[in-house]
Amino acid sequence: MTLAFSSQTQSAIEFAAALFRGAKRAVVLTGAGLSTPSGIPDFRSEGKGLWSRDEPMEVASLGTFRTAPERFFQWFRPLASQIFNAYPNPAHLALAELEAAGRLQAVITQNIDVLHQKAGSKRVIEMHGTMRTLSCTQCFRQVESAPYLKPFAEQGVIPHCPFCGALLKPDVILFGEQLPQKAWYEAQREARQCDLMMVVGSSLEVLPVAGLPIQALDRGAHLIILNNTPTYLNVRADVTIGEDAASILPAIAEKTLHG
């Protein structure tokens, strides 16, 4: 089914596709808005975002996890359930298609939901950690999250290490934790080497990741922004589209790959 877009949106889609076709090294930076069509809430939407209901430092900080882990897990359980039950949406699939066709070098993501990988993306740089694995707080061994995620999501069974019995922590970055160094270096390298960066579903409000497009722009890269609300970099973007990524990204991929 072909969606009907306004003439302005159609022009923006065609311009974005032309930039992809002309790029030698394109990268995409994705945020929570990419996964909301998959049923995973974002953090900052008025009335619906996670931080409209909870104070992040009280529930999602490293300090809370260490001193009151039951409070963290109580807050985390609905989100874990949504992630466990989520499937990639057409936007995730479009990015995987662009990568498979050689039009996209890497996805830098602020998301922890692993939906890029489930969609088929191979080069995914996870800036805020991942729900794929859990790490023991005592012996530091890492385990796959899948056997623990379902009983936790469905019955509230808090995960414990199969080796030493200590608490397992999801390998997501909480407030008060440093970004994963390897991912941060990789993301900066991609930002500095790309000639096209596309921002999808990110309000560009969380530093230091929000500064990556500046690094790309400062080295002459083109910038596309696809986000429901304006960002601080809209004025510097070649193309801005304020619509749903799940409908726009497939159209851009289709136009890029098939004209």
Q: How far is Cα 57 from Cα 94, in angstroms, rounded to an integer?
A: 35
Euclidean distance between CA atoms 60 and 174, whole angstroms: 6
CA–CA gap between residue 120 and residue 212 (Å, rounded)? 24
Active-site annotation, residues: 128
Q: Determine the 3-state secondary structure of 168 from DSSP.
A: strand
Cα(137)–Cα(155) distance, rounded to whole angstroms?
A: 22
Kind and range of the H or E run holding 143 = strand 142-144
Q: How many residues does the chain have?
A: 259
Question: Are the C-beta atoms of residues 97 and 253 closer than 8 Å to each other?
Answer: yes
CA distances, 222 to each of 19, 237, 253 (Å): 8, 7, 17
Please measure the distance between the N-terminal and C-terminal CA atoms of the chain and give it in whole angstroms: 17
- Locate tokens 């049923």: which residue? 39
The one-character DSSP state at 206 is: S
